Structure 1
């Protein structure tokens, strides 16, 4: 299991445009909100992606980029993005390798049926590549506002040289 204070595992995945996003390339440049979600075009996933897109400029003002990851393919991501006017980068993890790396591919029970799936999880990673916050099994409603507050505090802490790590649900 990943721990707060550890380096975020490096990975590269294609986005909706089939351009590769490399987490390691963001070190020293941006904080990263990395959120994992189950599937494109479900009500909760749509709400979450739309909320992050609506606040993308707010995150950018705090030197933060937002990327979403699901097992959907690049074409499905492009259709999802276009249908809902989304601006955040959506990464395709068809083989579920990054989902496993971040321990979000887990047994789930849906309508009484047990199967494997993505647990909706958000990681806040600082500019040095360190996991500063992990939010597991989150509810999409209000989630983005809570994550933004964590990023805002992180930026303020970095400006003052104070690294205060937290664990919680937002």
Structure 2
């Protein structure tokens, strides 16, 4: 698998998701645009705010024929708790082996409490109905981010 680049097809992948489903990117081909947002950790302040912002704009994304999926390295159990507590209407994908995180090159060296650790760099990718990567946002700042993603999704319809 190769790291997706703008204007090119994204390699198909499969991950376990909340609600007992299995996510496969190819299942959305010719059906819906896909937002994949990578976040560091369930139930942390920035990740909660980002998820809430996607939740609050969910119907607008639906109106733009766009589905949303959050991805982190947390377990399905952790995802289920996070999703339930925040009433997310979208599924969370568990990439515990970092396969998709590596595919999208979102694992970065970060400083936490004076130590360097590998973690997810908050990033979002918008894939169109043909499976082509149309937009990517890296080093995301949560404030105003969902509005930018929604505007890009609306432009695809």
TM-score between the two structures when normalised by the length of structure 2: 0.95
The separation in 1 between residues aligned to 2:13 and 2:24, in whole angstroms, is 6
Alignment equivalent of 2:105, drawn from 103, 125, 140: 103
What's the offset of the Cα at 1:64? Answer: 0.5
The separation in 2 between residues aligned to 1:116 and 1:8, in whole angstroms, is 24
The separation in 2 between residues aligned to 1:88 and 1:142, in whole angstroms, is 20
The separation in 2 between residues aligned to 1:9 and 1:112, in whole angstroms, is 36
The separation in 2 between residues aligned to 1:37 and 1:68, in whole angstroms, is 7
The separation in 2 between residues aligned to 1:20 and 1:85, in whole angstroms, is 20
Residues 76-115 of structure 1: pairs in structure 2 closer than 5 A: 76-115=78-117
Which residue of 1 is the match for residue 74 of structure 2?
72
Residues 46-74 of structure 1, C-alpha deviations (whole Å, 9 max, x = no match): 01111111111110111100001000111
The separation in 1 between residues aligned to 2:20 and 2:108, in whole angstroms, is 26
Residues 15-164 of structure 1: pairs in structure 2 closer than 5 A: 15-155=17-157
The answer (yes or no) to whether the contact 1:18–1:74 under 8 Å persists in 2 is no
The separation in 2 between residues aligned to 1:10 and 1:30, in whole angstroms, is 15
The separation in 2 between residues aligned to 1:152 and 1:17, in whole angstroms, is 27
Give secondary structure in 2 for the equivalent of 1:25.
Answer: helix
The separation in 1 between residues aligned to 2:69 and 2:104, in whole angstroms, is 14
Q: Displaced runs of 4+ in structure 1, greater than 6 A?
A: none
Give unpaired runs (5+ residues) of structure 1.
Answer: 156-170
Give unpaired runs (5+ residues) of structure 2.
Answer: none
Which residue of 2 is the match for residue 158 of structure 1?
none
TM-score between the two structures when normalised by the length of structure 1: 0.88
What's the offset of the Cα at 1:112? Answer: 2.1
What is the CA RMSD across the aligned residues, in angstroms?
A: 1.0
